[in-house]
Structure 1
Amino acid sequence: MSSLPRGRYLDRATPPHISTLIALTGIGALSMNVFLPSLPAMAEYFNADYALMQLSVSLYLAVNAVLQLFIGPISDRFGRRPVLLISLALFSLATLGCILAPTAVSFLVFRMGQAVIVSGLVLGRAVVRDMVPQAEAASMIGYVTMGMAVVPMIGPAFGGVLDQAFGWQANFILLLMAGLAVLVLTWADLGETARSTTASFRDQVREYPELFASRRFWGYCLSATFASGAFFAFIGGAPFVGTDVFGLNSVQVGFAVGAPALGYFTGNFISGRYSVRKGVNWMITVGAMISTLGMIIPFVLALAGISTALSFFGSVTLVGLGNGMLMPNANAGMLSVRPHLAGSASGIGGAIMIFGGACLSAYAGWLLGPGSSAMPLIVIMLISSALALVAILYTMYRERQVAPA
């Protein structure tokens, strides 16, 4: 990390410390999954159907995707710092509302308000791109998003302990404390990194066609979307496959679902170490190849009549490894196609990734049913990973075509 900008910790006049950016991106992941073990207790507390309480996930994702379309251009116009501080303050207020909500409906309203924390993910990447060139951005994003890989591994387990010991509200008290802590940290350590601009929000939106017209932007965006889609499909289908196909108990399924997160963490570390040396496109290509190989293995074994929990979940670890190498570099590529629209590119790209991943997750859940094998999920993940490879190969071809110009 020697090539990354250095600064004094808690000094807004210097670049933000990497721990601040990790906190900004990690709190969103924590908000997403720390309370999941509490859903049954929450349904009982509010005297509501479990299906209604599950909307706290899908509605959160829906608002999350929509907000990403606006947070980027707003921050391009008004700056990263004020948007982040306001978002963290609103997140803290919404979290307090979740704790005090008297009904399930009011809880869901405040839960949707929590989605504003997505600004930490969107603008954390944009801040990196503001400070350093493309290759260094990929390296730094790799380190930053390692925090997002750790949280999904430990968040639900920690949330389950809090729920059992203190009740479901304890998870949201934890989120409130985390939100306030990150708010103070951001205020103290993160100065403005965006270039000053006099363009209005409408002017920012008018520049969307410039971004959409870039085939390289779509290449990087689709590569990231298909790669993350394989992971979302896994999340949608893995509990069924683990329980109904392989006969694992809930504890075993919990560890198995964390398999790709372990690989993702390792892939992020590799990105942080080698993206500058190898280049963005090389890292994306190798990552996509590893992810595709990770699904070819269980596919071939299943065709040969060999399908076990170890062969499936062990292979999915390779998907996580490949995605950990691919995602930081694909994000850096998206943000670098039009550097003056880095915030917009981050928001649009993130919204597309979430929407595409949610669709694949729902499709995986729809295909899997009583009597089903793991093959439908394997095929979806294999195709999605392969399409990520196709997307980056097209992007590299496009770069060679425009290079002489």
Structure 2
Amino acid sequence: MAGDGRMFLPLLVVLTGLGPGALQIFLPALPQIRADFSADPGVAQLTLSLSTLSIAVAMLLFGPLSDRIGRRAAVLLGLGVFLVGSIGCVLAGSIVMLVIARVVQAAGGAAGMVIARAMIRDRHPPEDAASMLAIVTTAMVIAPMLAPVLGGGLTDLFGWRATFAASGLAGLVILVFSLQSLPETRPADTKARPGLFAGGGRLLGHRDFLAYALQGAFSIALYYALLGGGPHVVMEVLGGSATHYALWFLPVAFMFMVGNLVASRISRRVGLDRMVLIGSFGNVLGSGLALLLALLGMAAAWTIFLPTALVAFFQGLSVPNGQAGALSVDPNAAGTASGLSGFLQMAFAAAAAQMVGMLQNGTVWPLLLTMFGCGLMSLLCFLPRLTGSRAASTG
């Protein structure tokens, strides 16, 4: 099926935003969910934590699946799973059933996050793919920014089940448009397509894939360290409010979007590896600046969030280019590469957020040191790619 070329990029944008949006839209409803089911807060929190784990595992599976059965079929399957999970959430009669249904919904939403990247790489060379990935990646920021606002309004007006109904309705609309307009992009070649373990193992043994994937994983981990530790630092350590935190976080999200938009314009001209290297240095520069200001006794919200906004801009430059690079290592396994790199990003992100939480000691240091460590590792992990390229060009 050829599909409608005009709908290709918009469809990939909404497919990418569906999973993150569904993850965030019900968060304002958590207190009401706990009250309705008389649930322990830790059990209710599983609707979020197990959903995050579900996304990570599903990303690992949907990538190679799309290499085997085709991108279009895998997307449609994921959307079907998402709808089943959404219906289960709306009809859930207990907190346990809600957790299970939310895990199913999250798994289905992960399909678009993975396969959209692979579909772009199928159609475009690395530098062009990086420009388009920069546009698609903004959906992963915009959706989580808008979804809680929508979810809060729906909860206040109609109750918590309306948040899952809204997610399901969005998934249904996207499914209808995908059936009509989403093309198959997987290359039609005769080479055997690797399975999950064979393809994943081959990629993990490839120096260039590891350089791109680990650079991106540590970059995202830096961002999630702020998500995990920022609220505690602002509200408990610095004495701010939830609104205070939300307002300070806005420039971080905004600068990430700006960085992605700049990357969409200049990646082809500057070059993929240079963009990733610039972003890696930006990770170190921004997180190092926040750490230095704290060492000088200037620990405050602005000394954390404004340098992190600088980091976010540079990540907007590097993340889409790193994704394009990871997917270009083996074009026959672009789906597997997308799923594996996505899994590494989610796993490292969860580990960084958890580390900040476990190390909390009433100061800013656990957050700032974790962020700086992730930024430094993003640079160190990418250096083998540069030294290898230089050796190849002079050999």
Matches within 5 A, 1:110-121: 110-114=101-105, 115-121=107-113
Shift of residue 196, structure 1, vs aligned partner: 2.9
Which residue matches 1:296? 288
Distance 2:226 2:27 in 1: 17
In 2, are the aligned partners of 1:77 and 1:200 still within 8 Å (CA)?
A: no
Does residue 327 of structure 1 match 2:319? yes
Match of 1:211 in 2: 203
Structure 1 equivalent of residue 240 of structure 2: 248
The one-letter code sitting in structure 1 at the alignment partner of 2:255 is G
Residue 214 (structure 1) shift: 0.8
Matched AA of 1:393: L
- For 2:371, the equivalent position in structure 1 comes to 381
Deviates more, 1:103-112 or 1:383-392: 383-392
Question: For the residues of structure 2 that align with 1:152 and 1:93, how far apart are their CA atoms?
Answer: 22
- 1:327 is displaced (CA, Å) by 0.9
Look up the SS of the partner of 1:248 in the other structure.
coil
Would you say 1:155 and 2:141 are equivalent positions?
A: no
Q: Quick one: which amino acid aligns to residue 380 of structure 1? A: T
Aligned to 1:61: 52
Aligned mates of 2:194, 2:37 — CA distance in 1: 42
Question: What is the identity, as a one-letter code, of the residue corresponding to 1:91?
Answer: F
Q: Secondary structure at the match of 1:207?
A: helix
CA contact (8 A) 1:90 1:113 kept: yes
Aligned CA distance change for structure 1 residues 258 and 52 (closer, same or farther; 3 Å): farther
Instruction: After TM superposition, give the deviation of residue 301 of structure 1 in Å.
Output: 1.2
Residue correspondence of structure 1 range 220-235 to structure 2 within 5 A:
220-235=212-227
Amino acid at match of 1:243: M
Q: How has the CA–CA distance of structure 1 residues 48 and 203 changed in structure 2, closer, same or farther, with 3 Å as cutoff?
A: closer
Task: Mark the CA change 1:30 to 1:17 in structure 2 (over 3 Å): closer, same or farther.
Answer: same
Q: Which aligned pairs between 1:7-156 and structure 2 lie closer than 5 A? A: 12=3, 14=5, 16-114=7-105, 115-156=107-148
Output the amino acid matched with 2:209. F
TM-score under structure 1 length normalisation: 0.93
Report if the CA contact (8 A) 2:209-2:329 is conserved: yes
Kindly indicate whether the alpha-carbon contact (under 8 Å) linking 2:61 and 2:339 is maintained by their aligned counterparts in 1.
yes
Paired letter, 2:217: T
C-alpha contact (below 8 Å) 2:82/2:104 kept by paired residues: yes
Give the Cα separation in 1 of the matches to 2:193 and 2:39: 41
Conserved in 1, the CA contact under 8 Å of 2:251 and 2:309?
yes
Residue number in structure 1 paired with 2:381 = 391
Q: CA separation in 1, counterparts of 2:202 and 2:358?
A: 37
Match of 2:302 in 1: 310
Q: Please give the alpha-carbon distance, in whole angstroms, between the structure 1 residues aligned to 2:250 and 2:339.
A: 27
Distance 1:108 1:201 in 2: 35
C-alpha displacement of 1:204: 5.6
When residues 13 and 146 of structure 1 are mapped into structure 2, their CA distance, relative to the original with a 3 A threshold, is: closer
TM-score by length of 2: 0.95
- Structure 1 CA distance for aligned equivalents of residues 248 and 173 of structure 2: 32
State the match for 1:344 in structure 2: 336
Q: Judging changes above 3 Å, is the alpha-carbon distance between structure 1 residues 296 and 202 closer, same or farther for their aligned structure 2 residues? A: closer
Moved more, 315-324 or 203-212: 203-212
**Alpha-carbon distance in 2 for matches of 1:97, 1:198:** 40
Match of 2:357 in 1: 365
More deviation in 316-325 or 194-203?
194-203
Superposition pairs of residues 275-294 of structure 1, within 5 angstroms? 275-294=267-286
Deviation of the 1:207 alpha carbon: 3.1
Question: How far 1:259 moved relative to its partner?
Answer: 3.4
Change (3 A) 1:16 1:344: farther
| Kept in 1: contact 2:216–2:319 (CA 8 A) | yes
